[in-house]
Amino acid sequence: MTSVPESGLDAQTVVDLLPDGVVVADADGRVVVLSRVAATLLGVPLDSVGRPLGEVLALRDQDGHAWVDHNRPYGGLATRTAVPEQSWLLPDGTEVLVAARIHRPALRQPVERVAVSIRSGRGRERLDRERSDLVATVAHELRSPLTGVKGFVQALLNRWDKLTDEQKKLMLTTVSADSDRLSRLIAELLDVARIDTGRLQLHPRPSDAAALARRIVDSVSAGTARPIELDVEGPLPEIHADPDKFTQVVTNLVENAVRHGEGTVRVALEPLEGSAPGVRITVDDEGEGIPDELHRRVFTKFWKGGARGGSGLGLYLVGGLTKAHDGTVTITGSPSGGARIVVTWPSSEPDL
């Protein structure tokens, strides 16, 4: 055992402190270090030091191959320095993620040490579940408008001569609205990917926030029976924004309030006070509100409040697009007891 003079900890104590299991074997393939986590995962005694690596590392793949036999850490290319992370099964069938470093005195020299790390596969299982949930969510959101499009198009094809002009117009109007919904969802998914990868492209220019907000409120009002009020206080300075992205932000806020709130949705625009000119956009609903402890989670990806549908992307995009314009977004309770989301949008050009 080697020691660490700076801390006074020996190798066994150090590996026992690590969250992952560690197994180290010498040039002869015998275990010289075995951490407590590794011993627990592998189901071997802690005093297994001195046994062959293949006996201690009792891991199998789906086909029953052993880790040592499959990866041959002491064989293969003389320049190999690592075994990449792989999924393996413990004797009880539990999945673990295993990686290894192959240490040599110099390249093309015989192996001096093999250090193996073993990590629980629960994190990967959780990630797989999240990905499955994402696929299911997106599939559901795409299927709903697509079903409407297909149904009305099929009805038009089969009954064209029997339908009145008014019926045809209603069906085509519905198909157009569902197509717009599909296009918007696809655009949201693309914007999410661009935000996540830092590849979001903006085309900002001086814009009239009041005119854009009026257009949004009129558009959303046409598709709901819920009253939506717009209040513009005083003359507003122009904002520096990509009009399409600003429209996307405010539309998501208003539609979210319509979907999850109750009563009247109120949208207010007012000039920002202070040295930095800009506009404050406030959206209030009369629903149940959002508990304080969930306020930070509201703007995370695929967060959903309540059971009224939605892709879970709207507020994530609100946060990402607002931040990209050097704005801010916060959530509090509204005076009516529902939720209040406040966006501040600067008049100055964002740092792109």
Mean of pLDDT over the chain:
86
Query: What's the CATH superfamily of 7-120?
Result: PAS domain (3.30.450.20)
Place of tokens 């296009």: 183
What distance in Å separates the CA atoms of residue 267 and residue 279, rounded to the nearest whole number? 13
What distance in Å separates the CA atoms of residue 256 and residue 331, rounded to the nearest whole number? 13
Tens-place pLDDT, residues 1-23: 444 445 567 888 999 999 999 99
Q: Which amino acid is at 118?
A: I
With bands split at pLDDT 50, 70 and 90, how would you rate the model's confidence at 308?
low
Q: Which amino acid is at 179?
A: S
Within the chain, which residue ranges are assigned CATH 1.10.287.130? Answer: 125-197
Within the chain, which residue ranges are assigned CATH 3.30.450.20? Answer: 7-120
- Would you list the DSSP string of 225-257? SS-EEEEE-SPPPPEEE-HHHHHHHHHHHHHHH
Fold of 125-197: Helix Hairpins (1.10.287)
With bands split at pLDDT 50, 70 and 90, how would you rate the model's confidence at 310?
low
Average pLDDT over residues 266-275: 88
What distance in Å separates the CA atoms of residue 264 and residue 286, rounded to the nearest whole number? 6
What is the pLDDT at residue 33?
A: 94
Tens-place pLDDT, residues 84-107: 999 899 888 888 999 999 999 987
What is the token pair recorded at 305?
Answer: 């409040």
User: Quick one: which H or E segment has residue 128?
Assistant: helix 122-159
The pTM of this model reads: 0.60
What distance in Å separates the CA atoms of residue 149 and residue 162, rounded to the nearest whole number? 19
User: Quick one: which H or E segment has residue 152?
Assistant: helix 122-159
Cα 288 from chain centroid?
Answer: 26
Q: 190: Cβ–Cβ under 8 A, 6 or more apart, which residues?
A: none
Torsion of the alpha carbons at 194, 208, 184 and 315, rounded to the nearest 10: 60
What is the token pair recorded at 91?
Answer: 């004797």
What is the pLDDT at residue 72?
A: 92
With bands split at pLDDT 50, 70 and 90, how would you rate the model's confidence at 123?
low
Fold of 205-346: Heat Shock Protein 90 (3.30.565)
Nearest to 23 by CA among 5, 4, 3, 38: 38
β-strands 228-232, 239-241 pairing: unpaired
Tens-place pLDDT, residues 7-66: 567 888 999 999 999 999 999 999 999 999 999 999 999 999 999 999 999 899 888 899
Within the chain, which residue ranges are assigned CATH 3.30.565.10? Answer: 205-346
